[in-house]
Structure 1
Amino acid sequence: MSGLSTPSALLQASPAIVVGSGLAGLSAASQLIFHHVPVVMLDRAPKPGGNSIKASSGINGAPTRFQPCDTEDTAFYTDTVVSAGRPLSSSTSTERLRREQLIATLTQSSPSAVYWLTDDNAIDLSKVAQLGGHSHPRTHRGAGKKPPGSAIITTLLDSLTRDPLFELRTQAKVTKVLREADEVTGVEYKSPGTDPNATTRLSGPVVFATGGFAGDAQGMMMRYRPDLAGLPSTNDAREGSQPLLEQVGAAVVDMDQVQVHPTGFVDPADPAAPVKFLAAEALRGEGGILLLEDGKRFANELGNREQVTNALMKAASRLETPTRQWEVTLLLDEGAATALAAHLEFYVWKGLMRKTTVGELGKTGCQTVCQTVQEYADAAAGRTEDAFGRKAFGNWSLGDVQSDSVVYVGKVTPVTHFTMGGVVFNEYSQVLDQSGGVIRGLWAAGEVTGGLHGQNRLGGSSLLECVVFGRIAGNAAAAFHQKHYKTVP
């Protein structure tokens, strides 16, 4: 057993079990601790944080005091419904109601989710950008050097590990969810250094927050989306955990709905690497554009992720590499770069982006690239309408484009990034079975769940769903624990 906190005698009272140490798990654990319920958190990885710690664009919230205006009304809900697409619009009336309730809970709870992080946990989320598929700026991040995922995860984890009611066990792989009659009663897990056939049993109500299966290339991805085989991913290779919940009766939905993010960095030092750093959507939100090899744009960079990805795959040439990838140039001017100084500093340090001039990008001087960037600059300045219908230009400031105009560039390609499918759950974070019944003693939050995002997830809503439904799960599990288990005085 390994971990970041020392086991406490207080935990001998039956704990609540949180599986997964990303933002959904940490949010659930925080609420359980708030209600004085002991928590054992299990994570199969050597280090905590999951994919949440890598999140780089931010967390959605609307309306909040950090936004330029507070006149959104139902726009966030509407944008999310539109983004959900066919799985929502073609569902039965009962299923549509469940999905709409999930979306309503997500969007209506978004201000309190942001304020829980900023006011209760002192995390800076004062900068707001507009990402693809959004009608307003509503994606929050901090003004400091830490990306939002890292800032949020490290703060919550530090707080939890100081509490004697909390214990983190890393390298603890859950192999079975325990169910007796109609109730989940705990889990079994394996730890390194023990008999490979031996498992440890832990009893208590369970919150599952284990993430998706975008990195499970030879397993669940091959089963549900074999057409995406060979694409690089932003996710490390690891098994999906939905089958563990299916074994205790959980239903699954939307398993074929996989989000391919249009911009994963192509590292010049290892172009065919199967796992790639995400080029944060905020890079486009703050003004960045995408250019083909001939120096031309091909899409509204702030369309939703599915739209931009499809346009990129259609317009760009596929490379001859072991991985299925394309290659286009992501370009930012100095205004956009300044707004994303912390991101740029990291990307440049990693060799994923570089500082150059517009003229150096053209094969024969400025020509096409200069013309393309000038046309975009004119639209950003309000002198013309953008040819691709883009309406938001972030902090783009370059007006008069010259051959020596400074820009920042990097190569990007589509990558599998997020799985919208998962176990069926409701607005109370309860896991449902095939008949729509609640599985007692079991809750789920984050990417392990399905039905919220439908066909496409809006950027910034992943961290949001982790906080909203993680906290709901934590509160519900605490109430269940206090009623059915021995509690700490």
Structure 2
Amino acid sequence: MTTQAPKKPVIVVGSGLAGLSAAHEALRAGATVRMLDRAPKPGGNSIKASSGINGAGTRFQQSLGIAKDDSFYSDTVRSAGARFAESSPPVDRKALIEILTSQSESAVNWLADELNVDLSVVAQLGGHSVPRTHRGGGKLPPGAAIVSALLDALKANSNFSLENSADVVELLSGDGAVKGVSYQVADGQPHELEGPVVFAAGGFAGDAHGLLSKYRPDLAGIPSTNEARPASHGLLSAVRASFVDMDSVQIHPTGFVDPKDPGSAYKFLAAEALRGEGGILLSAEGKRFINELQTRDVVSAAIMALPHTTVEKTRQWEVTLLLDPGACEATTSHIGFYLWKGLVQKKKVRDLAPEVIASVDKYATLVSENGEDELGRKAFGHWKLPPGEANRDEEVCVGTVTPVVHFTMGGVTFDSQARVLRPKEGGGLVPIPGLWAAGEITGGIHGANRLGGSSLLECAVFGRIAGAEAAKSLTNA
């Protein structure tokens, strides 16, 4: 008799939505999955995602009367800006965006139908032509709801294992291919694991003194929604992976300034859904100054054109975010948490500064008359506050926000099969055998600016592709 060698697992590095999605598809294809994450708890940044996941053509959109949504691709291209036309390195941006947008409905259906995630609430975020960002109506934010459902499903499968506090220190390679990983756990001893690798370790927005300072030194001192940690990109560089758009770093326009710790370099994100559902932004003079539903880069630039302050070495712009009762009600799951954290307060309109009351009345008149906004806003969410004396005893939700370093659009180059690419002799890029990637570690999809709701989406779409392709490589070996 001959003994058969044990089947190699698909190795997934990172436990955010990209890694979890990859693991789910690899298991579906019959593979065993070993997931490694250096963090002590699973979920990555995905578990903190607060606005939702994009989907075009979903039944949830149709229930709102949106019979057809054929503008997601063009919205994404427009948001990517001039970067979409760049051809060096030769990344097929068009193909990546086509996959992202065309598979968005199936991604939402997968989460809703197979994993029973509530995604029935649909909002319109900045840069979107129609409402297409899905979240649930319960207390859990969308990222936590999605990650929790996937973790539960994976842990119920005996072919899946998750090891936290497992720091991958090297991609093992030979004959030009990636063969596995070397990693360390609490005992500090190196461990080696062989198998195809899906790399989903996240971006570098928390690497303030490393890659972030290298590619965007101008962002020094600006607070971040990312916890401080070194980037993992060097592991990919060591196997000659190519990178793209590394200086494309997204500044999210709204991170909360905590009254208890105003100078903190770490800020809680004020979800874009707060503006999408009707919230407005006011300057120190109490005036609206930007269409709140512009793309994130445009809104951030408008805020950063205002005077700023420096608090304990942190550069910030203190702008008021105000939601009327309708917008507060539509974002109950968010507002409840922000109130508990002390990041948002409820105030009666009559207790606001006179210049703020004037702006609230002006905006309320605009909405009630369905007028033309001089700043260009066309969708007003669930704002229902009337203008004038009728609103003075109504309570509004108010918080102070500032732009924050949030997301890195740049990362490793990859193709429509989620294969990581490296330069080849004579020019061009070729796949690195044995290595796939998905999520924020990758580049080439978002260009100069990412649309809200497309981070969870890219994790789901390309994570599933990566997991399926990695599993397939085992059967083809």
Q: Please give the range of the TM-score, normalised by the shorter of the 2 chains.
A: over 0.9
8 Å CA contact 2:308, 2:315 repeated in 1 = no
8 Å CA contact 2:262, 2:311 repeated in 1 = no
The 3-state SS of whatever aligns with 1:447 is coil
Match of 2:385 in 1: 398
Match of 1:103 in 2: 97
**1:71, distance to aligned residue in structure 2 (A):** 4.2
How far apart in 2 are the matches of 1:187 and 1:404? 61
Equivalent residue runs for 1:230-241 within 5 Å? 230-241=221-232
Match of 1:6 in 2: none
Establish whether residue 58 from structure 1 lines up as the match of residue 49 from structure 2.
no
Match of 1:222 in 2: 213
Select 1:429's aligned residue among 393, 418, 421.
418
Equivalent residue runs for 1:4-403 within 5 Å? 13-67=7-61, 68-91=64-87, 95=90, 98-194=92-188, 198-362=189-353, 366=354, 368-402=355-389, 403=392
How far apart in 2 are the matches of 1:117 and 1:252? 30
Match of 1:463 in 2: 456
Number of residue pairs matched by the alignment: 466
Match of 1:416 in 2: 405
Please tell me the residue identity of whatever aligns with 2:399.
G
How far apart in 1 are the matches of 2:200 and 2:85? 27
Please list every run of 5 or more consecutive structure 1 residues that lacks an aligned counterpart in the other structure: 1-10, 485-489
8 Å CA contact 2:362, 2:387 repeated in 1 = no
The 3-state SS of whatever aligns with 1:446 is coil
**1:35, distance to aligned residue in structure 2 (A):** 1.4
8 Å CA contact 1:178, 1:185 repeated in 2 = yes
How far apart in 1 are the matches of 2:42 and 2:311? 36
8 Å CA contact 1:285, 1:393 repeated in 2 = yes
- The C-alpha deviation readout for 1:379-407, integer Å capped at 9, x for no partner, is 22244211210001111111224433320
How far apart in 2 are the matches of 1:61 and 1:382? 31
- The C-alpha deviation readout for 1:320-347, integer Å capped at 9, x for no partner, is 4421111111000000000111111110
Which stretch shifts more, 415-424 or 180-189? 180-189
Please tell me the residue identity of whatever aligns with 2:404.
V
- The C-alpha deviation readout for 1:229-256, integer Å capped at 9, x for no partner, is 1111100111111221111011000000
- TM-score, structure 1 normalization: 0.93
Please tell me the residue identity of whatever aligns with 2:422.
D
Q: What is the RMSD of the two structures over their aligned residues, measured on CA atoms?
A: 1.5
**1:182, distance to aligned residue in structure 2 (A):** 2.3
Task: Give me the identity figure in percent.
Answer: 57
Please tell me the residue identity of whatever aligns with 1:181.
D
- The C-alpha deviation readout for 1:296-328, integer Å capped at 9, x for no partner, is 111011100000000001124334442111111
Please tell me the residue identity of whatever aligns with 1:398.
L
How far apart in 2 are the matches of 1:125 and 1:151? 9
- The C-alpha deviation readout for 1:71-117, integer Å capped at 9, x for no partner, is 4443000000000011112436x936x00100000000000000000
How far apart in 1 are the matches of 2:388 and 2:19? 47
- The C-alpha deviation readout for 1:208-249, integer Å capped at 9, x for no partner, is 001100000001101110110111110011111122111101
How far apart in 1 are the matches of 2:264 and 2:373? 35
Please tell me the residue identity of whatever aligns with 1:337.
C
8 Å CA contact 1:290, 1:298 repeated in 2 = yes
Which stretch shifts more, 171-180 or 18-27? 171-180
**1:430, distance to aligned residue in structure 2 (A):** 0.7
**Distance change >3 Å, CA 36–CA 401, structure 1 → 2:** farther
How far apart in 1 are the matches of 2:40 and 2:20? 16
8 Å CA contact 1:424, 1:451 repeated in 2 = yes
8 Å CA contact 1:316, 1:328 repeated in 2 = no
How far apart in 1 are the matches of 2:69 and 2:47? 30
- The C-alpha deviation readout for 1:119-151, integer Å capped at 9, x for no partner, is 011110000000001010000000111000000
How far apart in 2 are the matches of 1:483 and 1:401? 70
8 Å CA contact 1:319, 1:327 repeated in 2 = no
Match of 1:3 in 2: none
- The C-alpha deviation readout for 1:191-221, integer Å capped at 9, x for no partner, is 1123xxx311100000000110000000110
8 Å CA contact 2:100, 2:458 repeated in 1 = yes
How far apart in 1 are the matches of 2:170 and 2:274? 41
- TM-score, structure 2 normalization: 0.95
Match of 2:435 in 1: 442
- The C-alpha deviation readout for 1:440-460, integer Å capped at 9, x for no partner, is 111000000001000000000
Which stretch shifts more, 310-319 or 206-215? 310-319
How far apart in 2 are the matches of 1:12 and 1:269? 55
8 Å CA contact 2:181, 2:192 repeated in 1 = yes
